[in-house]
A and B are shown apart, each in its own frame.
Chain A
Amino acid sequence: MQVVCVLAMSAFVASDGNPQDASQIRGTKPAAKGRSVPRASASGSSAATLVSPVVLPSTRDTAFVIPSASPVPSVVSIAVPASLPAASRVTYTVTPLIEGAVIGKLTGALNPVKAGVPRSILFAARAPRPLPAGEVQLALVRFTTNAAAVEVPIVARVDQARDIRIAPVTSLGVVRAGMSFTLGFRLTNLGNAPDTVSVQVVVPAGWRVHDPESGRPIAISMHGTVDRRVQVISPDNAQGQSTIALVVLAKGLPVAESRVDVQILGGSVVTGSSGPTLTMTAAAASGPWGALAHVETLELSGPLSDDMTIWARASSAPWHQGGSAYALSRANVLLAPPALELSTATWKISAGVHGTSLSELAGVNLVGRGATVAVTQPDWNARAVAASPDVGQRQATGSLLGGRVEATPGRFALSTAVARLRETGNQSRELEAWTLGARVSDVVGGQWAGEVGRRRFDGQTAQGWSTTYSRRTRDDHLDVRYVLAPGGSRAFARTASELVASASRRLGPAVSVTGSYWKSADEGAQSLSGLTMGGWSLGTHATLGDGVMGSLTARRSEFGATTTIGAFGSGEQALDASLEGRSGNLAARVAMTAARLRRVTTVGDGSNDRFVQQAPRVGVRAAVGTGHERGTISLTGQYDRSGAGIGFAPVQWSFGLEVARAIVPGAGDILRLNAAAERIGGIAAGAHQLTLRVGLEADLPLETSLRVSAERNPWIMPEADPGSWMYVVGVSRAVRLPRLSHRATRGQVFRDLNGNDQRDAGEPGFHGVLLRRGAHVAMTDAGGRFSLGGDERQSYEIDARSLPVGWLVPSTVVAPGTHRIGVLSVSPLLVDLALDEADSLSARSVDLAQLVVIARDSAGREWLARRSSRTQAIFDALPPGRYTIEVDATAAREPLRIVGDVPQVSVSDGRKLPPLRIVLRPRALRFSTPRPGRP
């Protein structure tokens, strides 16, 4: 026997040792002379439909195996079984058991030969369609003599062809920052054997996945599907759009992949009719400082109305002292006085304790209790402040009054500012100022600004001026600022004079350089009669390889101060180098510093003794860590050495281990562990050597979170009991409040189950659908309700990607004034076409592939099916309705009609429809007697 692979084989030959030409074989009549050919298959081949009047007993010979079947035909040579006498004439019949598996005529006869002379037949066999992996019987060859019959099975050995598909339920996920959403996907096995895979959900950095079955093998039957869902949690600072990859792994190798875009809803996004979020936090701390410290805070943040955003905070005890302030911070509690901000696109009001600045010459760092109003219009902007410097903790009196207006008609801008600022108490400052400013865009690719002003302070008046230039491009940046502000920090300026410059430039795809310079002088506030600062830095950053970066920076800084005691100054020249690398989830960094420190002290007691101390300093810091969605772990270490009396310590070292946001096994993703241990040596003595911290965070229902922690930190409690522990517990709950007013489009997206474009009873809302109007974005709530900002007179869009597979909208563009949007459930329908076997003889010439299958709805609209094979047609997505299925056989050779009633299907709620089988029969021919006179 032999098997030869050929590209095409339609000929059919036989060999009996004495070569015969093919015509002799072709001349053999099928089923001639009444020889028996059993009906071996129901597949309807011509050979198989003949009926033998005499049935001979048959035996089965060893199967002929095609080692690797494929759609490409293989020439098969089958020898006549030795059990049949050579002197007998042998007829044979090839019965395909799979349609299309055998090419050519299927019957013939072999003449008698001398004993020992082999006889065989040749034909072409193939796997006409994907077959299940393993051994599949393609055909049966029956050799018949007058006295006996022998059957030889033709078996194909089919290799496994893996074909796994993964499809997300929606191609666009929607989630609020810091919240989770359900990501559903369907695995389909289109291969030719049952398969086992696993799915890896690849999320961006900072995202987490809750999949209790992560990594577990998923068994899928052949042509089967498996639906899975995982929870994806976005980080608190997520924004914009991200992409999640679903990777299917088989034996560790990726075999399929799909991606899902995720839209993150930010603060300006409205979900339903939600307003600002009110976060209530209560925390308590216990430690060696004595009584239990506790605090309750409120924070309100989010859209107060469609155009207005609010941020406000209040605390029951904003002035905690001592260690409890640190301890309470472990519960995410910030001790601060009350404050409020209201803002729209054109104005902003800040009230309570807050800070602001007017200009370099009219006053910076204005902090107090009061209000600031800022207005921004296309052609102008303005800011005004009215506040008291008394913020409740410092003994300060006075008033902070000022305003600034800027006109911005085009490239040029002109501004003026007026200020009357007075603060007395422990720290006294005073300024009356009037300034004029200008700003020009597109100056050598950057922006220039200047200001002149008259400043009055401490009973004297002086002129000041400032100029700035700023330019930023993709490859470089340059910032230069010079300010001359007489009075300096005593008169609400940063310093009396300063020159600051910084620049960077990219020299190539992997190398950039940066540099900076600063020099300033101040007349001092009260304790200093003079202060000078200066320094520079020059560095380079380079990408040394895939994920490896290095930097080298030289720098110098110094200051000199004059006090009533004397003068003191300090300087440092240093060289910093760092190297960091990243490989997958692993990251490492090493930084080294070599410096020379210099201290100068002059005692102003008349002796003017000048003491100079100098010492070298070296330091090394290293960190290595790994992080993924289930938490991060890092190791850190540092070593610093400097001369005695200079620097923070002659020798200081530390090393530590930290675990952050690690998901506690067995508790889902709601419980996370934070733990750290650090050992410090050198300057610290004895009990100051070890800090320990362990805490748990739990996400509870109703948007409530719980934090508990215990910490032993000698640095926080050096006096009382360095070895003692402090304990903190905090509970926080976020509540979404309704908005005060609405001018936006309110509406509802619902499931239009009957397709009538009306919301009827029993048609629920659709959750998680994304709608857009320009920059405004909204997501429907659990009831399908939404509130979308923007101009109501304009149309808006529904993002079809946020709809699950099987649902669609008639149009993604929604006309203005539309408040109810019906989403249609669509269903696939598979139609199997078959010929009536009772009449297959006359219908065998019908090519079913020529038929067109049509679904006609109640309105008379036609939906055409897609042909997936010769006998199958698929309607991929039929909307709700009642359909009559028709078959257009115009292109077929034979006239066909549907057996039985005309099939009808009803699509209602997106449920999967069972396959529809349509049996066709050639139309009966009518015979009639011609009427007289007619042909």
Chain B
Amino acid sequence: MNRPVLRWRMVALSVAVGAAGACTSPTSTCQEANGVMGTWAYDATQESPLPGSLSGSLVISSQHCTDFQGALDVVEVLATGETRRLVGPVSGTLVDATVARFEVSLGGVGRDHLARIARDSLAGSWVESAGPAPGTGRFGGRRR
């Protein structure tokens, strides 16, 4: 007599666990997340330790719930005027409907980004966390 009740309880528990595990991001439901999929024009400045600039494109190629992945492709102009091409993978999360946090690996070093998204543009700051004298700067993007 108790077996059907137990079975339904297990099914309900499984659905609950599955629903909770399906979305581990800070956002409570996927429906609230803005889509960041697509190509963004990316422009950034470096403020420390040396001035510099980066420009290129940010391509978000996949998004699952609030987690997204892609690649950043930029040309960096160093303070000395030298240029170099940097390409690296991107992985991030939508913190809420207007704030995105993502990390990109450029030249083997990670750069953390925090950006506010307003429709088809984004803007924020980045930090390169390597050693005691980090690289910092700001960046912006427009959806293409």
Residue numbers of A with Cβ under 8 A of B are 318-323, 325-326, 329, 334-337, 353-355, 364-365, 367, 389, 391-394, 396, 423, 426-427, 429, 488-489, 494-495, 498, 500, 518-520, 522, 524-528, 531, 533, 557, 559, 561, 563, 565-566, 568, 570, 599, 601, 603, 605, 609, 611, 613, 643-650, 652, 683-685, 688, 715-716, 718-719
Known: A321-B83, A650-B91. 19 other contacts (CB 8 A): A365-B79, A391-B80, A393-B77, A426-B45, A520-B134, A527-B47, A531-B127, A531-B134, A533-B129, A561-B112, A565-B115, A565-B116, A565-B125, A566-B114, A645-B93, A648-B103, A688-B71, A715-B73, A718-B59
Q: Is the CB of A498 within 8 A of B132?
A: yes
Which A residues are CB-close (under 8 A) to B45?
426-427
Distance A336 CA – B79 CA, assembled complex (angstroms): 11
Tell me whether B121 is interfacial, beta carbon within 8 Å.
no
Closest chain B residue to A524, Cβ basis = B136
Distance A384 CA – B132 CA, assembled complex (angstroms): 27
Q: Mark B53-68, 1 if CB is under 8 A from A, else 0.
A: 1000101011010110
Q: Is the CB of A526 within 8 A of B51?
A: no
Q: Which of A325, A367, A603 contacts B99 (CB 8 A)?
A: A603
Q: Is the CB of B87 within 8 A of A716?
A: yes
Q: Which of B92-131 contact A (CB under 8 A)?
A: 92-93, 95-96, 98-99, 101, 103-105, 110, 112, 114-116, 124-125, 127, 129, 131
Q: Is the CB of A719 within 8 A of B125?
A: no
Q: How far is the CB of A317 from chain B (nearest CB, A)?
A: 10
Q: Is the CB of A494 within 8 A of B133?
A: yes
Tell me whether B138 is interfacial, beta carbon within 8 Å.
yes
Which B residues are CB-close (under 8 A) to A364?
49
Tell me whether B88 is interfacial, beta carbon within 8 Å.
yes
Number of A-B contacts (CB under 8 A): 214
Q: How far is the CB of B11 from chain A (nearest CB, A)?
A: 26
Which A residues are CB-close (under 8 A) to B90?
648
Q: Is the CB of A559 within 8 A of B89?
A: no
Q: Given contacts A394-B53, A645-B25, A719-B73, are A500 and B85 in contact (CB under 8 A)?
A: no
Closest chain A residue to B92, Cβ basis = A645
Distance A353 CA – B83 CA, assembled complex (angstroms): 13
Q: Which of B25, B51, B105, B116 contacts A389 (CB 8 A)?
A: B51
Distance A533 CA – B46 CA, assembled complex (angstroms): 17
Q: Is the CB of A561 within 8 A of B49?
A: no
Q: Is the CB of A648 within 8 A of B89?
A: yes
Q: Is the CB of B124 within 8 A of A648?
A: no
Which A residues are CB-close (under 8 A) to B75?
321-322, 325
Q: Which of B61, B83, B104 contacts A325 (CB 8 A)?
A: B83
Q: Which of A365, A568, A603 contacts B50 (CB 8 A)?
A: A365
Tell me whether B24 is interfacial, beta carbon within 8 Å.
yes
Which A residues are CB-close (under 8 A) to B99?
565-566, 601, 603, 605
Which B residues are CB-close (under 8 A) to A488?
48
Q: Is the CB of A426 within 8 A of B53?
A: yes
Q: Is the CB of B133 within 8 A of A495?
A: yes
Closest chain B residue to A392, Cβ basis = B81
Q: Given contacts A391-B79, A391-B80, A648-B91, are A495 and B25 in contact (CB under 8 A)?
A: no
Distance A557 CA – B134 CA, assembled complex (angstroms): 12
Distance A527 CA – B139 CA, assembled complex (angstroms): 9
Q: Is the CB of B69 within 8 A of A649?
A: yes
Tell me whether B137 is interfacial, beta carbon within 8 Å.
yes
Which A residues are CB-close (under 8 A) to B138?
526-527
Distance A605 CA – B136 CA, assembled complex (angstroms): 22
Q: Is the CB of A601 within 8 A of B95?
A: yes
Q: Is the CB of A489 within 8 A of B136?
A: yes
Closest chain A residue to B48, Cβ basis = A489
